[in-house]
Amino acid sequence: MAGKRTAPSILAMKAKGELIVSVTAYDVTSGAIADASGVDLILVGDSLGNVVLGYDSTVGVTMADMVHHVRAARAGVKDALFIADLPFGSYQESPPQAVRSAVELMRAGAEGVKLEGAYVEQVAAITKAGIPVMGHVGLTPQSVHAFGGHKVQGKGEDGERIRGEACAIQDAGAFSIVLELMPAKLAGRITADLDIPTIGIGAGPHCDGQIQVFHDIMGLSERTFKHAKDFAQARKAMAEGMTQYSEEVRTGVFPSQENSF
Ligand code: KIV
């Protein structure tokens, strides 16, 4: 039994050569399912914009949305380290703005925050405030409009820039960093260069751990992604269950005596 994971214990896993398992969660049910399975880190990702709220990007997600879902998922998580995403517009302006936003998520129940991009002063300020910070480089979905779509990053000379950003984020005090949608070779190089663990999504097998969106690996999403895999067929099972429920209500099979008082 690994017990309660903390930012220092996740950091220590790299030195011990233990691969880190992470997944997103957005409410008490997904949080409890992920926590009970023994994952090391649960992220209330702003991907909730895509998979829970039905937006086409994470840009529309607000602090109020994040606080709402952090409170909801918190109730299901005991042992995993519980991290929350700082949403678009909540940290880019200045380090004080970033600290204020991070404090709000911590008050809602988070045990650390994640922010996208090379905002090293913000990472340093939040860390100084006693809040563990996860970095995030490569494809940073809040900048989807600048990238011109959800495209693999770091295939050319920008690979060196991404590596430099990761090093600067580590030096600013981050305890771990997400590497998203980049060639496996680049992710491997960054992983070898850093002392903090790299957590990959679409970044190949050489990272110190992996993170995935809950809906994308449980077969809940309508779309499929090359970087993900269905480890369950939840959408299919639920659709079949709903059809069966409708049929039994319409034919008078449910509720039976057994379901009655
Ligand atoms: O919002 C999110 O889900 C993320 C990931 C790293 C999966 O940032």
Alpha carbon of 244 to ligand 1 centroid (Å):
34
Token pair listed for 177: 């960093």
pLDDT at 251: 98
Mutate to test the pocket of ligand 1, among 82, 91, 116, 201 (most ligand atoms within 8 A of CB): 201
Residue with tokens 């380290």, as numbered in its chain: 81
- Per-residue pLDDT tens digits for 142-171: 999 999 999 999 999 999 999 999 999 999
Catalytic choice (111, 116, 180, 258) = 180
- Per-residue pLDDT tens digits for 32-67: 999 999 999 999 999 999 999 999 999 999 999 999
Mutate to test the pocket of ligand 1, among 59, 178, 217 (most ligand atoms within 8 A of CB): 178
Quickly state the pLDDT bin for 68 (edges 50, 70, 90): very high
3-state secondary structure of 212: strand
pLDDT at 36: 98
**Is the entire prediction scored with pTM above 0.85?**
yes
Mean pLDDT for the chain?
Answer: 97
Rounded mean pLDDT of 90-107? 98
Quickly state the pLDDT bin for 85 (edges 50, 70, 90): very high
- Per-residue pLDDT tens digits for 224-261: 999 999 999 999 999 999 999 999 999 999 999 999 99
As for ligand 1, residues whose beta carbon falls within 6 Å of it are: 24, 45-47, 85, 178, 180, 201, 211, 213
pLDDT at 223: 87
Question: How far is Cα 115 from Cα 59, in angstroms, rounded to an integer?
Answer: 13
180 is catalytic: yes
Quickly state the pLDDT bin for 1 (edges 50, 70, 90): low
Question: How far is Cα 137 from Cα 202, in angstroms, rounded to an integer?
Answer: 12
